Amino acid sequence: MLFIVLLLVAIGDVVSISSPITPFTSYRYSTELEKGVAHLWWTIDNGAKDITFELHMKTTGWIALGISP
């Protein structure tokens, strides 16, 4: 959760990104991690203690995303 909180503080005012693929659903927050390469969307549900996220990356191989408490 600490990772997400820090991310919100750093990029909470991002308005749009340039992903050519439309996200699967609507998310409250988004950021372009690397222009034209990596895009992240997420929504936090504090009541259910859930974070729903979607990551789009341009790659020729595997990607990994790590989240810690």
Name the residue ranges covered by the structural domains of the chain. Answer: 21-60
Q: pLDDT by residue (tens digit) across 12-68? A: 444 455 566 677 788 899 998 888 888 889 999 999 988 888 888 888 888 887 777
Per the CB < 8 A criterion, the answer to whether 67 and 2 are in contact is no
Instruction: Write down the pLDDT at residue 44.
Output: 92
Instruction: Write down the pLDDT at residue 56.
Output: 87
pTM: 0.60
Residue 8 has pLDDT above 80, yes or no: no
Instruction: Write down the pLDDT at residue 11.
Output: 43
Q: E strands along 1-69, which residues?
A: 29-34, 38-45, 50-57
Residue 2 has pLDDT above 60, yes or no: no
